[in-house]
Amino acid sequence: MFEKVKKVLPEGKISREKKEKRKLPRAKKSSGKGIRIMIWLCITLIAISGVFAYLKSTKVEGKTAKNASQIASMLKEKPLEEISAYQSNKMLLFTNDFLEQYITVPANLDDRTIRTESLAKLYAKELKQDDLSNFEGYRELKSKTYFSTMEYKDMAIVQYDVIYNNVVLVEKERKKKEKYKDGKTEKTREVVEKYQEKEIKEVHALINIPVRSVDAGYTVIENVFFTQVPKLSTNKTKPVENKMDVEQEPEISATEKDNVEAFLQDFFKRYASTSVDDLAYMMKKPEALNGLKEYQEIIYFKAYEQQKQTLVKVSVIFKDTGSTMTNTEDFSLTLSKKDGKYFIEKLTHTLGGN
């Protein structure tokens, strides 16, 4: 190997052969570094979002537990049935029973005793009942209708619209002919006969029943009292009007109006006589009278263009099937047009609104 690296020069000198410098070729830069950065970024983001999700769920669980604890505490303090005791149907069952027993006063004394004992179970302790010993006759309930409930802090007054009869038995006299024998001869004489006649006085009033809820039960805590039935009607308001007409909104063209009216004539005939299924192709939400009425005529008709649709206001007369009785009904209809045919997008039973 030594001989390979030495060389004898002409002058007798020996020179060492220079080593060749060899360099390894550099590898081309790879995109792998960028991919690795992207992967680590994704891992980091997932880890961070996981931490946030965990913290959020922990917070939600904490709030849920707190709310559950508060609800449990509230329920423990005041049960739900006590909160709604004076809106419950149970109270109306109680007052209905009380009302029937209270208004009904039998003529027979034994039956009155039973009534008194029965009512005692519905009254608060030591609340005295009315003395009816001087009431000659009887009282009967004709009808009762729940009117309203006035709720107070720890009681309610339940009101009923009642009609009842006070029946008094009045002793009267009348003459009648009586046959008698005078020896062998039969004769007739006039005698005076006493009898009882009913005098009926109808009473229409509002009865007010003071009630308290105690331990999921009810009791009458004061004497009931009567008031006049209030007048519930008033004419101090205007009827519902077509606002579009009031605001003088322009109607659609005369030609289009004729087409819409022709469509509605056909529709209301079908609406009165056919079923909901038969109108599915004409209406988005089908409804029908299914033969209950017969269509007569349209007596009021207005039509307006609204956002590429047509708003129609109509008053229609219907007749009861098999009768001459008629009634007028109001409608607002929103129509769209598809393939040259009208379609009812919306129908409401009013001239007001849309």
> What DSSP string runs through 292-306?
SEEEEEEEEEEEEEE
- Residue where a domain stops, chosen among 181, 198, 227: 227
Residue 156 and residue 267 in one domain: no
What distances in angstroms separate CA 8 from CA 1, 18, 19, 54, 124, one per listed residue? 15, 14, 17, 83, 141
- Residue where a domain stops, chosen among 179, 197, 227: 227
pTM over 0.85: no
Residue 106 and residue 192 in one domain: yes
| 125-129: long-range pairs with CB below 8 Å, 24+ | 127/220, 127/221, 127/222, 127/223
Q: Do the domain assignments include residue 291?
A: yes
- 120: tokens are 């005692």
Q: For residues 94 and 219, what is the distance between their CA atoms, to the nearest angstrom?
A: 8
Amino acid identity of 91?
M
Range of the domain at 276: 243-348
Residue 282 and residue 187 in one domain: no
* Predicted pLDDT at 193: 81
Residue 177 and residue 125 in one domain: yes
Residue 198 and residue 247 in one domain: no
Q: Do the domain assignments include residue 249?
A: yes
CATH number at residue 277: 3.10.450.540
Q: Do the domain assignments include residue 68?
A: no
Residue 98 and residue 222 in one domain: yes
* Predicted pLDDT at 352: 87
Residue 331 and residue 302 in one domain: yes
* Predicted pLDDT at 304: 96
Low-confidence ranges of the chain (pLDDT < 50): 1-9, 24, 27-29, 80-82
What distances in angstroms separate CA 87 from CA 10, 91, 92, 97, 159, one per listed residue? 131, 7, 9, 17, 13
Q: Do the domain assignments include residue 344?
A: yes
Q: Do the domain assignments include residue 307?
A: yes
Q: Do the domain assignments include residue 178?
A: yes
* Predicted pLDDT at 80: 47
Q: What is the pLDDT of residues 94-105, one digit of tens each?
A: 999 999 999 999
Q: What is the pLDDT of residues 21-66, one digit of tens each?
A: 555 455 444 556 678 787 888 787 777 776 666 666 666 566 666 6
What dihedral angle (degrees, nearest 10) is formed by the CA atoms of 41, 43, 47, 50? Answer: 110
Residue 168 and residue 265 in one domain: no
Please give the tally of structural domains in the chain: 2
Q: For residues 155 and 95, what is the distance between their CA atoms, to the nearest angstrom?
A: 13
- Residue where a domain stops, chosen among 172, 202, 227: 227
Residue 104 and residue 211 in one domain: yes
Residue 220 and residue 252 in one domain: no
Residue 142 and residue 256 in one domain: no
- 292: tokens are 């209950």
Residue 216 and residue 103 in one domain: yes
* Predicted pLDDT at 173: 78
* Predicted pLDDT at 81: 47
Q: Is the separation of the CB atoms in 149 and 86 below 8 Å?
A: yes
Q: Rounded to the nearest 5°, which phi and psi values hold at 121?
A: -75, -15
